[in-house]
Amino acid sequence: MARVIFSAEYQVDDNKIATYLEKIAKLKTLMSGREYEYVVFRDEKRKNHFEEIYIFKSVEDFENFDDVPTEEIGNLVYDITSTCIADKKVQYKTLYEVD
């Protein structure tokens, strides 16, 4: 059973990093206990670059993925995107595990 990684990479406005980190901590709490693993990484060389990563146990789990599982999560994601992410630019990537 091949796993799938879905990621979103972006830059956070320099003056919004503290706010972003507070919001992402809340989002991580809300995303825990789901059918997938949700983690956020920060680039140590470029302090305002972040990547959200979802790890799914199977292609089927990924295909059934609802990226906004609750209204509260949806509102928080919208808030992060609209107030913290520089130029509202997000680069998405989907990777499938090689068998």
Is-contact 36 65, C-beta < 8 A? yes
Instruction: Report domain 4-96's class.
Output: alpha beta
Q: Are 68 and 62 in contact (CB under 8 A)?
A: no
Q: Can you give the pLDDT at residue 64? A: 86
Tens digits of residue pLDDT in 4-56: 999 999 999 999 999 999 999 999 999 998 889 999 999 999 999 999 999 99
The separation between CA 27 and the C-alpha centre of its own chain, rounded to angstroms, equals: 9
Q: Where are the domains of the chain?
A: 4-96
Supply the DSSP symbol for 42. Answer: E
CA 60 to chain centre: 19
Phi first, then psi, for residue 69 (nearest 5°) are -70, -25
